[in-house]
Amino acid sequence: MKNAEAETLLACHCAGLPGTEDPRITKAVRLAEKDPALQQRLARQRAFDHRNLAAVEQLVLPQAFLARLDAGQPESARPLSGKAALTQPVLLACGIAALTLLGWGGLTLWNRAHSFPGKDSMVRMVEVNDEMTGMEMEPKKDPSGALNDWFFDKYGFEDYFLPAGFENYQTIGARLFKQDGEPVAQVAVEENNMIFFSFKAEDFGVALPNDEWHIFTDAQWVAAVQQHDEECFMVCFRGSRGDMEALLKGKAGKL
Amino acid sequence: MAPGDFRLRGLDLPFSTEDLTRLFRFALLLTGDEGVAQQVLYDACAECAARLGGYRNEQSRMACILGTLRQKAKAAVPSAPAEGRGIARAIAVLPEEERAAMAGLYTGLLPARELAEALKISLEDLGRTLKSARERLSRDGLELGEATLEPAL
């Protein structure tokens, strides 16, 4: 601490008033006690304050005033206005709690509105894409609508289903894998690096109104699921909800 | 209490008599007049009474009432400062910021750092203000002939 700073902080020192000191002021006082110039200044200030404090202590609170306070009425009935009311600690705490509850409630409602039975299994299906190297699939260059027989011949899988509008995409690979012991047909499509999934709805607890799209996002993926009778179809790619809505326009199914 | 009258009796302030005495001294040093000091202290207590319970600690409560007192003292017109007691009269004629700083320091209402915060200035500015106030008091004390304000700086 320099002398100039100590001199400034020294003015905040008032001997005889316990509990009024700050560590920086105490340090300034210690420094002043060792410095000849500041030592003199400190002594004069202490003498000056000592005399004035003695005079201040002579100022006595009139007893009649205490009685007046005792009989007084707080202005609590008067409502606080505008900013003053908003900055009350109790109101601030209530406001934050209300906002948190509203946020949580809103999130819960949003999740409920965008959830459906079996969604967790669908999310896990989408996450399978991230674990794949590309080697798992058998190269297959055909229109997507032409794989029915291939899935049946190769795997005995009878539930390959595509909604109208998805039959003519050029595929680059396909396979059948099992999730939770249940078969899922997976097809990779050239356009937009899309992945199609087809499976039996009841195998994964999916229960959706017929021919209605349900869109959800998971990390960088967006997926849309549609059930038709016992079969389910899901398409996913890396993109946004808006990209998916644009894709589904003109395809069979209610958005 | 009459049936149906559920108003609080008294201001129910969370201050000891010693605190109230310090607050009264603060008001008196700000205004220089005992009557005005009582009025501004009463008004500040009445205004803050309902709010004080919302603060978590004693220093925050004290800072709240100190700020209100200062505002009310600024608005109050001293009736006759010349009739006030020596120390109060001398401090009451200082510039407002110096008056509030000096009154806050001499009444020991808050530690220096909290006092600076309550006055909305830094600790360094509080030091500069107090230094200037002491110098002024020292000069003016001589002119007023006050024994307690003889030159010391």
Band of the pLDDT at A77, cuts 50, 70, 90? very low
Residues 38-57 of A with CB under 8 A from B: 41, 44-45, 47-49, 51-56
Which among A12, A20, A72 has CB closest to B123?
A12
Which chain B residues are closer than 8 Å to A53 by Cβ?
106
Contacts of B34 in chain A (CB under 8 A): 62
- Indicate the DSSP class of residue B1: -
Provide the chain A residues 69-108 that lie in CB contact (below 8 A) with chain B: 69-77, 80, 88-90
Is there a contact between B54 and A10 if contact means CB atoms under 8 Å apart? no
Distance CA A56, CA A180 (A): 84
Cα separation, A146 vs A149, in Å, equals 7
Name which of B46, B54, B106 is nearest A89 (Cβ-Cβ).
Answer: B54
Q: Is the pLDDT of residue A243 over 90?
A: yes
Tens digits of per-residue pLDDT, B2-30? 333 333 345 667 778 888 899 999 999 99
Inform me whether the C-beta atom of residue B106 falls under 8 Å from chain A C-beta atoms. yes
- Mean pLDDT (chain A) is 86
Q: Average pLDDT of A245-249? A: 92
Rounded to an integer, the average pLDDT of B115-141 is 89
pLDDT digits (tens, 9 = 90+) for B27-47: 999 988 888 888 888 888 888
Contact (CB<8Å) B7/A71: no
* Residue A106: per-residue pLDDT: 83
CA distance B111 to B128: 17
> How much is the pLDDT for A60?
86
Look at strands A195-200 and A221-228 and give their pairing. Answer: unpaired
pLDDT tops 80 at residue A19: no
Average pLDDT of span A22-28 = 85
Question: How large is the average pLDDT for residues B121-137?
Answer: 92
pLDDT of B49 strictly over 90: no
pLDDT at A185: 96
Flag whether pLDDT at A108 surpasses 50.
yes
Q: Report whether pLDDT(A239) > 80.
A: yes
Model confidence band, residue A16 (pLDDT cutoffs 50, 70, 90): confident
In the predicted structure, residue A46 carries a pLDDT above the cut 50:
yes
Which of B106, B122, B135 to probe by mutation at the A interface, max A CB count within 10 Å? Answer: B106
Q: Best interface-test mutation with B: which of A17, A26, A53, A61 has the largest number of B CBs within 10 A? A: A61
- Kindly tell me if the per-residue pLDDT of B143 is higher than 50: no
Q: Does B139 touch chain A (CB under 8 A)?
A: no
A151 pLDDT tier (thresholds 50, 70, 90): very high
Q: Where are the alpha helices (DSSP H) in B6-122?
A: 17-31, 34-52, 58-75, 86-92, 96-107, 112-118
Helix or strand holding residue A172 (H, E)? strand A171-179
**DSSP conformational letter for A124:** H
pTM, to two decimals: 0.52
A70 vs B10, B29, B149: nearest CB = B10
Q: Is A149 on the interface with B (CB under 8 A)?
A: no
pLDDT at B78: 58
Q: What is the pLDDT of residues B57-115, one digit of tens each?
A: 788 888 888 999 999 998 886 555 544 458 888 888 889 999 999 999 999 888 888 89
Q: Residue B139 above 90 pLDDT?
A: no
| pLDDT confidence of residue A227 | 94
